[in-house]
Structure 1
Amino acid sequence: MYKFHGWFDLAESPGEPEWGEEKFDELIEDVRERVDAVDWMSGEARLKVFNGMFVLWVNGMPNHTGVHRAELDELLGYIARVLPGSHGILYEWDEESSEWPWPYGYRVRVMARGEITVRTDPFLSPLQPVVEDP
């Protein structure tokens, strides 16, 4: 199983907006089209607006990574590149991978200032004994 849960606040810049509202609206519309094109049977991607702020949510639990991870990589990479003020986190767990820290814990992708970094989860890992009995 591959689990992923994440949220991202979308913003033009970490500082003062540089482009103006029209350019931002164009980029948000492009992000919306990309999100609407996501068609995961065991997951979802949603773009919502709260108090004038755009928020992307991604969640899923497919049996295998399949296209999910590749599509997440592409979508999040695009957002970090075109909207470098965006920030958020994605928690992932893959029981079939031997890539660190799987299958023993969660990995966290952190988006901030146009970059995506991978960090160790300090809250739910290692799964045993934090979440599950040994």
Structure 2
Amino acid sequence: MYKYHGWFDLAESPAEPPWGEEKFDELLAEVSERVAGSSFGSGEARIDVFNGMHVLTVNGMPNHRGQEGPDLLELLEYVARTLPGSHGLLYIWDEESAEPPGFSGYRVGVMARGELTFRFDPFLSPLQPVVEDP
């Protein structure tokens, strides 16, 4: 099993850009096109607007990481590069991963300042005993 859940507030720059909303609208259109063209067999990526803010959400649970995992990370890295003011979190659980924490916990992708970096999850990991009985 491979699960992912994430949210990302979309913003053009960490600072107030001097050129206004026009550039953001252009970049958002590019990102929206890329998101719409994404194909996640057991999941989805979508952009919604809440109170004037654009939010990208990604959710899925394929049986195996397959190509969906790398495609997801490629999409999020593209978003981070294109809209470097964007920020948010991605939780991934991959029971087939040889990298720590492996099947016993989540890895957290942190999008901030144009980068997607990974950290260990301090809240739900290790799954046993935090979430499940041993």
TM class by shorter chain equals over 0.9
Whole-angstrom CA distance in 1 between matches of 2:72 and 2:122: 23
Partner amino acid, structure 1, of 2:7: W
- Deviation, 1:42, is 0.8
Partner amino acid, structure 1, of 2:16: E
- 3-state SS of the aligned residue for 2:102? coil
Partner amino acid, structure 1, of 2:55: V
| Mapping for residues 2-21 of structure 1, pairs under 5 Å | 2-21=2-21
- Deviation, 1:22, is 1.8
The match for 1:123 is: 123
- Deviation, 1:41, is 2.2
The match for 1:95 is: 95
**Identity across the alignment (%):** 72
Please tell me whether the aligned partners of residues 41 and 68 of structure 2 are also in contact (alpha carbons under 8 angstroms): no
The match for 1:133 is: 133
Report Cα offsets for 1:79-132 as digits up to 9, x if no partner. 111111100000000001111111110000001111221111111100111111
Please tell me whether the aligned partners of residues 42 and 62 of structure 2 are also in contact (alpha carbons under 8 angstroms): yes
| Mapping for residues 63-74 of structure 1, pairs under 5 Å | 63-74=63-74
Root-mean-square deviation (CA, aligned residues, Å) is 1.0
Partner amino acid, structure 1, of 2:101: P
Unaligned runs of 5+ in 1: none
The number of residue pairs the alignment matches comes to 134
TM-score by length of structure 1 reads 0.95
TM-score by length of structure 2 reads 0.95
- Deviation, 1:18, is 3.5
The match for 2:82 is: 82
Whole-angstrom CA distance in 1 between matches of 2:2 and 2:19: 38
Unaligned runs of 5+ in 2: none
